[in-house]
Amino acid sequence: MSIFDIFRNWQKNELGQFSGKKGQKKKSKKSSSIDPEKAKIMRKLKHKSKYLELEYEEAKEILEIAKTEFFTSIQEYCQANPEAKNPLCPVEPNKKKDKTDMDFPDELKTIYREIIKATHPDHNQGGDEEELTETLISATHAKQENKIEDLINISFDLDIDISNISLDLIEEVEKGLRKKEIKIKKMRKNNAVVWYYAPPDQRKIFIERICPIKKEE
């Protein structure tokens, strides 16, 4: 069950305790409190977000190392075998869709403003100014690219209270985390990573397969 499902069930239970025309609350043996339940949900969200961030950074680092060695091996093989087909052809970069503030929920604008305050030197006397600047830059990039889960993760790092975020925003964060999970899996299955972890003899076969030598007609 996702964090969003837990929150939705909790919200349903809360609403179910109200009845009557005036919305009077039913008497219940167990008096439920919103704060503890939501705090539990936010803790789970925080742990999942932090865990995936660590997994993503690790997968990204390995992929970058693997690509460097993989591409170098391809170039060396193609130089030694001029008739081989080099798969490293220039690719036209995809044009990114411009993100505007219209794509950015008001709740996140508020969180972003809180991040700006939290990273301001006046609020962090004696803190690492360089680290705070990097955090603000990361938050700005997250805002520009509409990466909700990254912005939420930064707010967790800065101990910003976001316990009042809406159900819709929690759902969006969950969607973002699921996308990150898929991205991590794709990174780990990338050809460069597969080649990187393969034994030497398998590496050679791998390169030969993706760089076939052109046969003379």
Question: What mean pLDDT is predicted for residues 73-99?
Answer: 75
pLDDT of residue 89 exceeding 70: no
In a domain, 20, yes or no: no
Question: What mean pLDDT is predicted for residues 20-44?
Answer: 56
In a domain, 192, yes or no: yes
pLDDT of residue 42 exceeding 90: no
Q: List all residues 6 or more positions away from 9 whose beta carbon is below 8 Å from its beta carbon.
A: none
Strands (DSSP E) found in the chain: 18-19, 24-25
> Domain range for residue 124?
3-9+34-87+98-210
* pTM of the full structure: 0.68
Question: What mean pLDDT is predicted for residues 131-142?
Answer: 87
In a domain, 196, yes or no: yes
pLDDT at 203: 93
What CA–CA distance (Å, rounded) separates 23 from 10? 18
* Short-list 150, 138, 204, 149, CA closest to 175: 149
In a domain, 167, yes or no: yes
Q: List all residues 6 or more positions away from 23 whose beta carbon is below 8 Å from its beta carbon.
A: none
Mean pLDDT is highest, among 54-63, 119-128, 132-141, 150-159, for 54-63
Contact 159, 50 (CB under 8 A): no
Contact 195, 70 (CB under 8 A): yes
In a domain, 19, yes or no: no
pLDDT of residue 29 exceeding 50: no
In a domain, 45, yes or no: yes
In a domain, 121, yes or no: yes
pLDDT of residue 9 exceeding 50: yes
Reported as a single tens digit per residue, the pLDDT across 191-207 is 999 999 999 999 999 99
Indicate the average pLDDT of the chain.
78
Burial letters for 106-138: b for 16+ Cβ neighbours within 10 Å, e otherwise?
ebbeebbebbeebbeeeeeeeeeeeebeebbeb
In a domain, 161, yes or no: yes
Give the pLDDT band of residue 118 (cuts 50, 70, 90). Answer: confident
What CA–CA distance (Å, rounded) separates 130 from 138? 12
Find tokens 């991040």 and name the residue: 115
Count: domains in the chain: 1
pLDDT at 32: 43
Beta pairing partners, 25: 18
pLDDT at 76: 92
